[in-house]
Chain A
Amino acid sequence: MADLGTATRALPLAGFHGGSSTVRLEAAPPAERISLRVRAEDVAALSGALGVDLPVKPKTSASANGRTALWLGPDEWLMIDESGTGIGNGLMQAAQNSGALHSAADVSHRNTAILVSGTGADKAINAGCPQDLSLKEFPVGACSRTIFGKVEIVLLRTAEDAFRVEVWRSFSDYAFGLLSEGARDAAVGK
Protein backbone atom coordinates (compact mmCIF):
# COMPACT_ATOMS: atom_id res chain seq x y z
CA MET A 1 0.00 0.00 0.00
CA ALA A 2 1.23 3.47 -0.81
CA ASP A 3 2.68 5.50 2.03
CA LEU A 4 0.26 8.40 2.24
CA GLY A 5 2.10 9.98 5.13
CA THR A 6 5.07 11.10 3.05
CA ALA A 7 4.49 13.82 0.46
CA THR A 8 7.12 14.20 -2.22
CA ARG A 9 7.19 17.40 -4.21
CA ALA A 10 7.06 16.72 -7.95
CA LEU A 11 9.23 19.16 -9.87
CA PRO A 12 7.61 20.59 -12.99
CA LEU A 13 10.36 19.32 -15.30
CA ALA A 14 11.30 16.15 -13.43
CA GLY A 15 12.52 13.56 -15.91
CA PHE A 16 12.85 16.00 -18.82
CA HIS A 17 16.07 15.81 -20.77
CA GLY A 18 17.06 17.13 -24.14
CA GLY A 19 19.61 18.84 -26.25
CA SER A 20 21.79 18.19 -29.24
CA SER A 21 25.45 17.94 -30.13
CA THR A 22 25.86 21.69 -29.49
CA VAL A 23 23.24 22.43 -26.80
CA ARG A 24 22.63 20.93 -23.37
CA LEU A 25 19.23 21.36 -21.70
CA GLU A 26 18.77 20.70 -18.00
CA ALA A 27 16.08 21.43 -15.47
CA ALA A 28 17.53 23.74 -12.81
CA PRO A 29 17.40 22.63 -9.17
CA PRO A 30 14.66 24.19 -7.01
CA ALA A 31 15.41 27.77 -5.93
CA GLU A 32 13.84 30.42 -3.77
CA ARG A 33 12.51 33.43 -5.68
CA ILE A 34 10.71 36.67 -4.99
CA SER A 35 9.12 39.22 -7.28
CA LEU A 36 10.18 42.55 -5.80
CA ARG A 37 8.87 46.08 -6.34
CA VAL A 38 10.75 48.97 -4.71
CA ARG A 39 10.68 52.75 -5.18
CA ALA A 40 13.96 54.46 -6.02
CA GLU A 41 14.37 55.98 -2.55
CA ASP A 42 14.12 52.54 -0.87
CA VAL A 43 16.46 50.62 -3.18
CA ALA A 44 19.44 51.10 -0.85
CA ALA A 45 17.54 49.75 2.17
CA LEU A 46 16.38 46.64 0.29
CA SER A 47 19.84 46.11 -1.20
CA GLY A 48 21.33 46.17 2.30
CA ALA A 49 18.76 43.79 3.72
CA LEU A 50 19.04 41.31 0.85
CA GLY A 51 22.84 41.45 0.63
CA VAL A 52 22.79 42.21 -3.10
CA ASP A 53 22.91 45.67 -4.68
CA LEU A 54 19.73 45.86 -6.74
CA PRO A 55 20.91 46.88 -10.22
CA VAL A 56 19.28 50.06 -11.55
CA LYS A 57 20.61 49.87 -15.10
CA PRO A 58 18.28 48.21 -17.63
CA LYS A 59 19.10 44.62 -18.67
CA THR A 60 21.63 44.06 -15.86
CA SER A 61 21.87 41.70 -12.89
CA ALA A 62 23.93 41.50 -9.72
CA SER A 63 24.99 38.48 -7.67
CA ALA A 64 26.30 37.95 -4.14
CA ASN A 65 26.07 35.19 -1.54
CA GLY A 66 24.20 32.80 -3.82
CA ARG A 67 21.56 35.41 -4.56
CA THR A 68 20.99 37.07 -7.92
CA ALA A 69 18.95 40.23 -8.50
CA LEU A 70 17.66 40.66 -12.05
CA TRP A 71 16.47 44.08 -13.29
CA LEU A 72 13.06 43.60 -14.89
CA GLY A 73 11.79 47.18 -14.92
CA PRO A 74 12.51 50.59 -13.36
CA ASP A 75 11.07 49.50 -10.00
CA GLU A 76 10.90 45.73 -10.43
CA TRP A 77 13.34 42.88 -9.81
CA LEU A 78 13.35 39.10 -9.76
CA MET A 79 15.49 37.80 -6.88
CA ILE A 80 16.73 34.21 -7.07
CA ASP A 81 18.42 32.44 -4.16
CA GLU A 82 20.19 29.21 -5.06
CA SER A 83 22.16 28.87 -1.84
CA GLY A 84 19.68 26.85 0.20
CA THR A 85 19.04 23.13 0.14
CA GLY A 86 15.28 23.59 0.27
CA ILE A 87 12.86 26.44 -0.35
CA GLY A 88 12.33 28.47 2.79
CA ASN A 89 11.30 32.07 3.32
CA GLY A 90 14.78 33.61 3.54
CA LEU A 91 14.23 36.20 0.81
CA MET A 92 10.79 37.22 2.09
CA GLN A 93 12.18 37.56 5.60
CA ALA A 94 15.22 39.55 4.46
CA ALA A 95 13.03 41.95 2.49
CA GLN A 96 10.78 42.41 5.50
CA ASN A 97 13.81 43.09 7.71
CA SER A 98 14.67 46.09 5.54
CA GLY A 99 11.92 48.04 7.31
CA ALA A 100 11.46 49.95 4.04
CA LEU A 101 8.31 50.13 1.94
CA HIS A 102 8.28 47.43 -0.74
CA SER A 103 6.20 44.71 -2.31
CA ALA A 104 7.52 41.16 -2.29
CA ALA A 105 5.69 38.10 -3.59
CA ASP A 106 7.12 34.61 -3.15
CA VAL A 107 7.25 33.06 -6.63
CA SER A 108 9.56 30.14 -5.79
CA HIS A 109 7.01 27.62 -7.03
CA ARG A 110 5.42 29.75 -9.74
CA ASN A 111 8.69 29.71 -11.69
CA THR A 112 11.00 26.96 -12.69
CA ALA A 113 14.17 27.28 -14.73
CA ILE A 114 15.83 25.58 -17.67
CA LEU A 115 19.61 25.75 -17.99
CA VAL A 116 20.72 26.07 -21.60
CA SER A 117 24.41 25.68 -22.35
CA GLY A 118 26.81 24.88 -25.13
CA THR A 119 28.11 26.57 -28.26
CA GLY A 120 24.61 26.58 -29.79
CA ALA A 121 22.82 27.87 -26.65
CA ASP A 122 22.11 31.33 -28.10
CA LYS A 123 20.80 29.83 -31.34
CA ALA A 124 18.50 27.44 -29.46
CA ILE A 125 16.99 30.36 -27.52
CA ASN A 126 16.74 32.50 -30.65
CA ALA A 127 14.47 29.79 -32.08
CA GLY A 128 11.72 31.53 -30.12
CA CYS A 129 13.21 34.75 -28.74
CA PRO A 130 13.67 37.91 -30.83
CA GLN A 131 16.44 39.49 -28.74
CA ASP A 132 19.96 40.04 -30.02
CA LEU A 133 21.98 37.51 -28.00
CA SER A 134 25.40 38.50 -29.35
CA LEU A 135 27.93 39.00 -26.54
CA LYS A 136 28.07 42.70 -27.44
CA GLU A 137 24.33 43.30 -26.93
CA PHE A 138 23.67 40.62 -24.31
CA PRO A 139 26.89 40.13 -22.32
CA VAL A 140 27.45 37.72 -19.42
CA GLY A 141 25.23 38.92 -16.56
CA ALA A 142 22.69 40.57 -18.88
CA CYS A 143 19.06 39.70 -18.18
CA SER A 144 15.68 40.57 -19.59
CA ARG A 145 12.07 39.68 -19.42
CA THR A 146 11.15 38.77 -22.97
CA ILE A 147 9.12 36.40 -25.11
CA PHE A 148 9.94 32.82 -26.10
CA GLY A 149 7.52 31.53 -28.71
CA LYS A 150 4.14 31.86 -27.05
CA VAL A 151 5.34 32.26 -23.46
CA GLU A 152 7.00 34.96 -21.41
CA ILE A 153 10.40 34.16 -19.92
CA VAL A 154 13.13 35.90 -17.96
CA LEU A 155 16.47 35.28 -19.61
CA LEU A 156 19.82 35.54 -17.81
CA ARG A 157 23.21 34.96 -19.41
CA THR A 158 25.33 33.11 -16.85
CA ALA A 159 28.39 32.52 -19.07
CA GLU A 160 29.43 33.15 -22.67
CA ASP A 161 27.73 29.94 -23.72
CA ALA A 162 25.19 29.46 -20.89
CA PHE A 163 21.77 30.90 -20.09
CA ARG A 164 19.15 30.47 -17.41
CA VAL A 165 15.59 30.55 -18.71
CA GLU A 166 13.09 31.35 -15.96
CA VAL A 167 9.58 30.36 -16.95
CA TRP A 168 6.22 29.90 -15.25
CA ARG A 169 5.92 26.25 -14.24
CA SER A 170 2.69 25.66 -16.16
CA PHE A 171 4.42 26.84 -19.36
CA SER A 172 7.64 24.95 -18.69
CA ASP A 173 7.00 21.85 -20.79
CA TYR A 174 6.14 24.07 -23.77
CA ALA A 175 9.36 26.06 -23.21
CA PHE A 176 11.39 22.86 -22.86
CA GLY A 177 9.84 21.44 -26.02
CA LEU A 178 10.58 24.53 -28.09
CA LEU A 179 14.11 24.70 -26.68
CA SER A 180 14.60 21.05 -27.69
CA GLU A 181 13.60 21.88 -31.25
CA GLY A 182 15.85 24.96 -31.19
CA ALA A 183 18.71 22.79 -29.92
CA ARG A 184 18.27 20.35 -32.80
CA ASP A 185 18.18 23.21 -35.33
CA ALA A 186 21.28 24.78 -33.76
CA ALA A 187 23.20 21.55 -34.38
CA VAL A 188 22.29 21.25 -38.06
CA GLY A 189 25.41 21.42 -40.18
CA LYS A 190 27.74 21.02 -37.18
Chain B
Amino acid sequence: MLLIHCPYCEEDRSELEFRWAGEAHIARPENIAAITDEEFAEYFFLRNNEKGLTYERWRHIHGCGRFFNAARDTVSDRFLMTYKAGLPKQPIPTAEETAAIAEEKTVETWEATEGDAR
Protein backbone atom coordinates (compact mmCIF):
# COMPACT_ATOMS: atom_id res chain seq x y z
CA MET B 1 0.00 0.00 0.00
CA LEU B 2 1.42 3.34 -1.09
CA LEU B 3 1.26 6.06 1.56
CA ILE B 4 0.84 9.69 0.51
CA HIS B 5 1.48 12.65 2.80
CA CYS B 6 -1.46 15.09 2.76
CA PRO B 7 -0.19 18.61 3.54
CA TYR B 8 -3.61 19.55 4.94
CA CYS B 9 -4.24 16.47 7.10
CA GLU B 10 -0.55 16.59 8.03
CA GLU B 11 -0.09 12.85 7.94
CA ASP B 12 0.57 9.88 5.66
CA ARG B 13 -2.60 8.26 4.38
CA SER B 14 -3.39 5.33 2.12
CA GLU B 15 -3.42 5.89 -1.62
CA LEU B 16 -7.02 4.58 -1.58
CA GLU B 17 -8.13 7.97 -0.22
CA PHE B 18 -6.51 9.95 -3.07
CA ARG B 19 -7.12 10.67 -6.71
CA TRP B 20 -4.61 11.84 -9.31
CA ALA B 21 -5.53 15.16 -10.93
CA GLY B 22 -3.05 15.75 -13.75
CA GLU B 23 0.05 17.85 -14.25
CA ALA B 24 0.59 20.70 -11.80
CA HIS B 25 1.54 24.35 -12.30
CA ILE B 26 -0.35 24.87 -15.55
CA ALA B 27 -1.57 28.44 -15.50
CA ARG B 28 -4.80 29.28 -17.30
CA PRO B 29 -4.10 32.01 -19.87
CA GLU B 30 -5.50 35.33 -18.67
CA ASN B 31 -6.52 36.33 -22.20
CA ILE B 32 -8.15 33.01 -23.05
CA ALA B 33 -10.63 34.50 -25.56
CA ALA B 34 -7.81 36.12 -27.51
CA ILE B 35 -5.34 33.23 -27.88
CA THR B 36 -5.07 31.15 -31.03
CA ASP B 37 -6.37 27.60 -31.36
CA GLU B 38 -2.79 26.33 -31.29
CA GLU B 39 -2.06 28.23 -28.08
CA PHE B 40 -5.29 26.91 -26.56
CA ALA B 41 -4.41 23.35 -27.55
CA GLU B 42 -0.97 23.81 -25.98
CA TYR B 43 -2.53 24.97 -22.72
CA PHE B 44 -5.51 22.63 -22.66
CA PHE B 45 -4.44 19.32 -24.19
CA LEU B 46 -0.66 19.01 -24.34
CA ARG B 47 1.20 17.59 -21.34
CA ASN B 48 4.87 16.78 -20.88
CA ASN B 49 4.35 13.20 -19.60
CA GLU B 50 7.87 13.14 -18.17
CA LYS B 51 9.61 9.91 -17.37
CA GLY B 52 11.09 10.44 -13.94
CA LEU B 53 10.44 13.53 -11.85
CA THR B 54 7.03 15.11 -12.42
CA TYR B 55 4.97 17.74 -10.67
CA GLU B 56 1.35 16.66 -10.30
CA ARG B 57 -1.90 17.72 -8.70
CA TRP B 58 -3.48 15.20 -6.38
CA ARG B 59 -6.71 15.37 -4.46
CA HIS B 60 -7.38 13.90 -1.02
CA ILE B 61 -10.88 13.17 -2.24
CA HIS B 62 -11.88 10.64 0.45
CA GLY B 63 -10.20 12.68 3.20
CA CYS B 64 -10.06 16.44 3.58
CA GLY B 65 -11.17 16.92 -0.04
CA ARG B 66 -8.27 19.27 -0.83
CA PHE B 67 -6.20 19.50 -4.00
CA PHE B 68 -2.46 19.72 -3.42
CA ASN B 69 0.76 19.37 -5.40
CA ALA B 70 3.21 16.52 -5.40
CA ALA B 71 6.64 15.87 -6.86
CA ARG B 72 6.73 12.21 -7.88
CA ASP B 73 9.11 9.90 -9.68
CA THR B 74 7.07 8.11 -12.34
CA VAL B 75 9.65 5.35 -12.64
CA SER B 76 9.74 4.30 -8.99
CA ASP B 77 6.26 5.69 -8.09
CA ARG B 78 7.95 7.36 -5.12
CA PHE B 79 6.51 10.62 -3.81
CA LEU B 80 9.45 12.99 -3.22
CA MET B 81 7.34 15.64 -1.51
CA THR B 82 3.87 17.16 -1.34
CA TYR B 83 2.90 20.76 -0.69
CA LYS B 84 -0.23 22.89 -0.51
CA ALA B 85 -2.05 24.10 -3.61
CA GLY B 86 -1.28 27.71 -4.54
CA LEU B 87 2.38 27.50 -3.56
CA PRO B 88 4.90 28.00 -6.36
CA LYS B 89 6.79 24.98 -7.70
CA GLN B 90 8.97 23.80 -4.82
CA PRO B 91 12.64 22.89 -5.24
CA ILE B 92 13.29 19.19 -5.76
CA PRO B 93 14.78 17.53 -2.69
CA THR B 94 18.51 16.87 -3.08
CA ALA B 95 19.77 13.36 -3.73
CA GLU B 96 20.68 13.03 -0.04
CA GLU B 97 17.25 14.24 1.06
CA THR B 98 15.58 11.87 -1.38
CA ALA B 99 17.69 9.01 -0.08
CA ALA B 100 16.71 9.95 3.47
CA ILE B 101 13.03 9.92 2.48
CA ALA B 102 13.49 6.53 0.84
CA GLU B 103 15.24 5.23 3.93
CA GLU B 104 12.45 6.45 6.14
CA LYS B 105 9.55 5.28 4.00
CA THR B 106 10.44 1.92 2.56
CA VAL B 107 7.86 0.88 0.01
CA GLU B 108 5.85 -2.03 1.40
CA THR B 109 5.91 -4.89 -1.05
CA TRP B 110 3.81 -8.02 -1.04
CA GLU B 111 6.96 -10.11 -0.79
CA ALA B 112 8.05 -8.27 2.35
CA THR B 113 4.75 -8.23 4.19
CA GLU B 114 2.71 -11.19 2.97
CA GLY B 115 5.31 -13.42 1.38
CA ASP B 116 5.29 -15.91 4.23
CA ALA B 117 1.51 -15.97 4.65
CA ARG B 118 0.11 -19.46 4.32
**In the bound complex, what is the Cα–Cα distance between A144 and B13 (angstroms)?**
11
Interface segment out of the listed A20-28, A71-79, A80-88, A170-178: A71-79
Q: Is the CB of B8 within 8 A of A130?
A: no
Residues of A in contact, count (CB < 8 Å): 13
Specify which chain A residues have a CB less than 8 angstroms from the CB of B9 in the assembled complex.
58-59, 144
Q: Is the CB of A130 within 8 A of B65?
A: no
**In the bound complex, what is the Cα–Cα distance between A152 and B1 (angstroms)?**
18
Q: Is the CB of A147 within 8 A of B16?
A: yes
B14's partner among A59, A76, A130 (CB-CB below 8 A) is A130
**In the bound complex, what is the Cα–Cα distance between A146 and B62 (angstroms)?**
5
Q: Is the CB of A73 within 8 A of B65?
A: yes
Asked whether B66 is an interface residue with its Cβ less than 8 Å from the other chain, the reply is: yes
Q: Is the CB of A147 within 8 A of B62?
A: yes
Tell me whether A145 and B16 are in contact in the complex, defined as CB-CB below 8 angstroms, given that A58-B10, A74-B8 are known contacts. Answer: no
Interface of chain B, main secondary structure: loop
- In chain A, what residue has the closest Cβ to B1? A130
Q: Is the CB of B14 within 8 A of A131?
A: yes
* Interfacial residues of chain B within 28-84, with CB under 8 A of chain A in the complex: 62-66
Tell me whether A130 and B64 are in contact in the complex, defined as CB-CB below 8 angstroms, given that A58-B10, A73-B8 are known contacts. Answer: no
**In the bound complex, what is the Cα–Cα distance between A100 and B63 (angstroms)?**
26
Specify which chain A residues have a CB less than 8 angstroms from the CB of B16 in the assembled complex.
130, 147
Asked whether B111 is an interface residue with its Cβ less than 8 Å from the other chain, the reply is: no
Specify which chain B residues have a CB less than 8 angstroms from the CB of A145 in the assembled complex.
62-65
- In chain A, what residue has the closest Cβ to B6? A58
Q: Is the CB of A152 within 8 A of B64?
A: no
Specify which chain A residues have a CB less than 8 angstroms from the CB of B13 in the assembled complex.
130-131, 146
Specify which chain B residues have a CB less than 8 angstroms from the CB of A72 in the assembled complex.
64-65
Contact with B along A116-131 (1 / 0, CB 8 A): 0000000000000011
**In the bound complex, what is the Cα–Cα distance between A14 and B13 (angstroms)?**
34
Q: Is the CB of A73 within 8 A of B11?
A: no
Q: Is the CB of A130 within 8 A of B17?
A: yes
A64 CB, min distance to chain B CBs, angstroms: 23
**In the bound complex, what is the Cα–Cα distance between A131 and B11 (angstroms)?**
11
A68 CB, min distance to chain B CBs, angstroms: 18
* Interfacial residues of chain A within 143-158, with CB under 8 A of chain B in the complex: 144-147, 152
Tell me whether A76 and B65 are in contact in the complex, defined as CB-CB below 8 angstroms, given that A130-B14, A131-B14, A146-B17 are known contacts. Answer: yes
Binding site for B on A (CB under 8 A): 58-59, 72-74, 76, 130-131, 144-147, 152
- A-B contacts, 14 of them at CB < 8 A, read A58-B8, A59-B9, A73-B65, A74-B8, A74-B64, A76-B64, A76-B65, A130-B16, A144-B63, A145-B63, A145-B65, A146-B63, A147-B17, A152-B62
Given A144-B9, A147-B17, list of 8 further CB < 8 A pairs?
A: A72-B64, A74-B66, A130-B14, A130-B16, A145-B62, A145-B63, A146-B13, A147-B62
